[in-house]
Structures are given as C-alpha cells and as structure tokens.
Copies of this chain bind each other. A is one copy, B any other.
Amino acid sequence: MPQLGLLHGRVWASLLGKLLRPPGAVCIGAVHSHSQGTRDLTPQQMVVREKILDLVVSCFKRHGAKGLDTPAFELKEVLTEKYGEDSGLIYDLQDQGGELLSLRYDLTVPFARYLAMNKVKKMKRYHVGKVWRRESPTIVQGRYREFCQCDFDIAGQFDPMIPDAECLKIMCEILSGLQLGDFLIKVNDRRILDGMFAVCGVPESKFHTICSSIDKLGKMSWKDVRHEMVAKKGLAPEVADRIGDYVQCHGGVSLVEQMFQDPRLSQNKQALEGLGDLKLLFEYVTLFGIAEKISFDLSLARGLDYYTGVVYEAVLLPTPAQAEEEPLNVGSVAAGGRYDGLVGMFDPKGHKVPCVGLSIGVERIFSIVEQKMKTFGEKIRTTETQVFVASPQKNFLQERLKLIAELWDAGIKAELLYKNNPKLLTQLHYCENMGIPLVVIVGEQELKEGVIKLRSVASREEVAIKRENLVAEIQKRLSES
C-alpha cells in the first residue's frame, strides 16, 4: 500500500474516521495558555501531535535524513545578527556566572553552528524541537512563545537546484499527506529581489529593511506596505511604485521567461542568476510532478537575513468563504530557502557550506486539525489500554494483581482500578469511558474452575477461557481486531 496513503490512513482514520468512538472519550481540551504566553498540551492534543509528527518525520526519513539534536540554549553571540528585525524576540538567560546564553530562536542557526563546529561539509538532517520567541501571543492563529518546529535541511556543495527541488517535493508530500486542503508554494529568489531593488533604485543600504517590508505583503495590503517604505523608511515614492509593479506579478515558468525579457531586470547580473536557477527549479519540479503547486511570486521575500538564493513559502488556499472573511490572511504552513553564507559565519576561516532547507509550521497545522475536530465534535482516545482486569467479588485484589502482571509481562496493555473492592459496574463503566475493548474477569466461580471470563466491551459477550490459555487468546483477539 502506498505509504502516503497508509500514513494518511493512519492519521485520518484515527483523527477523523474512528474518532466518534470510544463514546466517553474526551474532546480536544480548551487551550491551557499561561500569562507568560506558553501553554500546556493536553493528552488529546498530544495524541494529535504524535500522529502529525509521525507523518512529518516519516517523510523526512523517506528522503534519507539523519536525526540531530542541539541544546535549547546557545551562546548569545551565536544568535546575534541572524534574524534581522526579529532579533528583539530572542529570550536571554540571566547571567548567573559563565557564558551569556539565549534560547534558540529557530533550528537553522544551531544546525549551521553544528556544521561549522564539527567541520561537517555534507549532511542531510531533520530536527524536531521546540523554539522560543518573545512575541505577543495571538492565540487565534495558534501562535505561542514556545512552539515546535520540524526542519529538514541539505548541507553541501551539489549541482544547482537538485536539493532545492527535493525540498519543494517534501513540502508537497507532507501537505498532501495531511490533507489540509488545497495549497500553493510561492517561490522567489533573494537575488531576484535584490536585483529588483537595484533596478528600481533602492539604495543598497536599504535592501534589508525594504526586504522585510515586502515580506509583510499578505499580512498587510500593498498600500500599507508602500506607506511603511515611504513614510517610515524614507524610500522615494516613485521607487516604491516601481517595486509595486513587480510585486504584483506571480505565475508559472512563463513568468520566469517574461522576467528574462524585462528591460530593467534583464540588465541586472544577480537577477539573471536567480532567474536562471528558478528556470532549472521549474524543470525539476515538473519531473517530480508538482509543478502545478509552485508559483513564482515576486512579492515573496521571507524576513530572515540569512537567505541567499531561492526562498519559498507554502500557503493553504482559502475556501471562497474564508477568502471573503479575511482576504489577507493566507495561512503559511511551511517555508524555507537557500542560505549559503550562514555556516561560514561560524567558521574561523569563513569556509562556506551551502545549505537549503525547509521548516514545517506544525503548530499552525496542529491548531487547524484541532479546530476541525472541535467543529466536528470529534473525540479521541488518549490511552492505548487493550485489556482491563476486573473482579465481581470482594477480596480479589491479589488475583487481579497476579493476573495483570502476567498480561504486562506478555506485553499486553492492561489496567485495573487501584481499589481493594471496586464494584463491577464501576469497572465496566471505566472500560466504556476509556474505550478499552476487552475485560478479563476473575471471581470465585472462575477460580474454582481454573478459568477466566473474557468479555468484549462492545458486544458484551463473555466467554470462559482456561487460565493457562488467557494470554494466547487475548493476543489472538488483539491481532484480529
């Protein structure tokens, strides 16, 4: 069976399909957010996360990535001057003696630091971990000051655009597998942007700050972005308008061709390099069968300082209804790009290791899925218990304990009530509420006859089984179900 199908099956069968059972299971809990802008994750949320992260990580492994882990905090200097205007959002640790430390802001900079520190010239790695940013949390969007990132990166000197194309393929596989609805991947190139700025007459000193203004398109209207560039950042109005003509453009490979012919842009060496690579990229994504998902978009900038070439961002396409409500809120769920200079910043001799990568916006995806489930009132099992050990009579704790130890030692997921003499009804209700499929019942009668009663919670059927055959019988039933 195709794995994407299988994964999709695994995820949605449990997320959306089987979710109406067990009856009593709890619905995705309300968000437990704290004054400090973080939150606890409830068991229901953890189940959703586990399944989504499983799908993401299997995709990363399918593409040959190795796992890597770096510490939550880095030396403060490692993080400085990597995040442009966002650097103010970095959490610093208090100086309690020793080095000045900061919590990591993303997983990319620590990865680059790792490569340089260990002189690694080639590596395909994935990293799932938390990052921290001092943003004012806007809970609606599922934004918190602590959140999970899933990164995949390819480091090394290779022939152009082959790893870059694989990154786009991975984004497509994951977003299709999660079935979040229709999506589009906007692609641009930092060199095209810089070329565009140059030919429009932006002074080079303003490239970075204008770039981060452009990055706000989508969240802000062109009118507001233009105002920011002119009023706040002192850009000449006519320069802003020239930029305006370009950033309206988006399309397929034909737009790349068109830009090659553009009288102004075609005069800029950098822009031509970027366009050349994009042309190649479109050739490769066509071979990967995902060309119709890719859109060359001159308004895509990406805020981070460290990008040097192609940049991309996956957005979920709003349904007509959504589009009417909030026309500007295109939901970015994955993004990335090429950063050929970052590793060199950590190498004493400045040796460069070209890198390209992507980050899946899993938090956004978690909240979309949780929202869906709330809307459909779907329930979810938070434990995996297969068998419950019960007794109808008093003074059977000893028998129950002996029995359950046998099940545990056989690898069977089993529970009992931590009471000396629970009522049978209480025990059976627990099974129904928790969605436990099987109950093992031991009482005086069974003890005399050397049997155990095995009850199916769903059908309420009970059969007597020889004590010594119990484990085998349970394993048989579980393998069948």
Contacts from A to B (Cβ < 8 Å): 1-7, 32, 34-36, 38-43, 45-47, 50, 61-73, 75, 91-96, 98-99, 101, 103, 114, 117-118, 125, 130, 132, 134, 146, 154, 156, 158-159, 162-163, 165, 169, 173, 284, 287-289, 382-385, 397-398, 401-402, 405, 408-415, 418-420
Assuming A5-B411, A401-B288, A409-B4, is B39 touching A67 (CB within 8 A)? Answer: no
Q: How far is the CA of A46 from the CA of B57 in the complex (A)?
A: 13
Smallest CB gap from A381: residue in B: B66
Whether the pair A411, B62 counts as a contact (CB closer than 8 A) is yes
Whether the pair A132, B405 counts as a contact (CB closer than 8 A) is no
Assuming A36-B99, A67-B46, A405-B287, is B118 touching A72 (CB within 8 A)? Answer: no
Inter-chain contacts of A158 with B (CB < 8 A):
418-419
CB distance from A28 to the nearest CB of B (A): 14
Whether the pair A117, B32 counts as a contact (CB closer than 8 A) is yes
CB distance from A174 to the nearest CB of B (A): 11
Inter-chain contacts of A173 with B (CB < 8 A):
408-409
Q: Which of B40, B93, B103 contacts A92 (CB 8 A)?
A: B93
Smallest CB gap from A43: residue in B: B66
Whether the pair A69, B94 counts as a contact (CB closer than 8 A) is no
Assuming A32-B118, A73-B38, A159-B420, is B382 touching A66 (CB within 8 A)? Answer: yes
The 13 listed contacts between A and B (C-beta, < 8 Å) are: A4-B409, A4-B411, A7-B411, A35-B75, A43-B67, A63-B415, A94-B95, A158-B419, A162-B397, A163-B418, A169-B405, A173-B409, A287-B402
Q: How far is the CA of A397 from the CA of B159 in the complex (A)?
A: 11
Whether the pair B50, A413 counts as a contact (CB closer than 8 A) is no
CB distance from A166 to the nearest CB of B (A): 8
Q: How far is the CA of A99 from the CA of B413 in the complex (A)?
A: 42
Whether the pair B2, A409 counts as a contact (CB closer than 8 A) is yes
How many monomers of this protein are in the complex? Answer: 2
Whether the pair A91, B93 counts as a contact (CB closer than 8 A) is yes
Assuming A38-B73, A159-B420, A401-B284, is B68 touching A46 (CB within 8 A)? Answer: yes
CB distance from A288 to the nearest CB of B (A): 5
Inter-chain contacts of A159 with B (CB < 8 A):
418-420
Whether the pair A71, B38 counts as a contact (CB closer than 8 A) is yes
Inter-chain contacts of A68 with B (CB < 8 A):
40-43, 46
Whether the pair B92, A69 counts as a contact (CB closer than 8 A) is no
Q: Given A43-B67, A61-B383, A63-B413, output 4 extra A-B contacts at Cβ < 8 Å.
A: A67-B382, A91-B96, A159-B420, A289-B405
Q: How far is the CA of A32 from the CA of B163 in the complex (A)?
A: 27
Interface centre among A103, A288, A411 (most CB of B within 10 A): A411
Assuming A72-B130, A125-B43, is B34 touching A413 (CB within 8 A)? Answer: no
Inter-chain contacts of A103 with B (CB < 8 A):
72, 93
Inter-chain contacts of A130 with B (CB < 8 A):
72
CB distance from A29 to the nearest CB of B (A): 9
CB distance from A389 to the nearest CB of B (A): 11
CB distance from A472 to the nearest CB of B (A): 11
Whether the pair B414, A36 counts as a contact (CB closer than 8 A) is no
Q: Which of B39, B45, B70 contacts A71 (CB 8 A)?
A: B39
Inter-chain contacts of A405 with B (CB < 8 A):
169, 287-289
Assuming A61-B384, A62-B411, A118-B32, is B93 touching A69 (CB within 8 A)? Answer: no
Smallest CB gap from A129: residue in B: B130
Inter-chain contacts of A38 with B (CB < 8 A):
71, 73
Whether the pair A287, B146 counts as a contact (CB closer than 8 A) is no
Whether the pair B35, A47 counts as a contact (CB closer than 8 A) is no
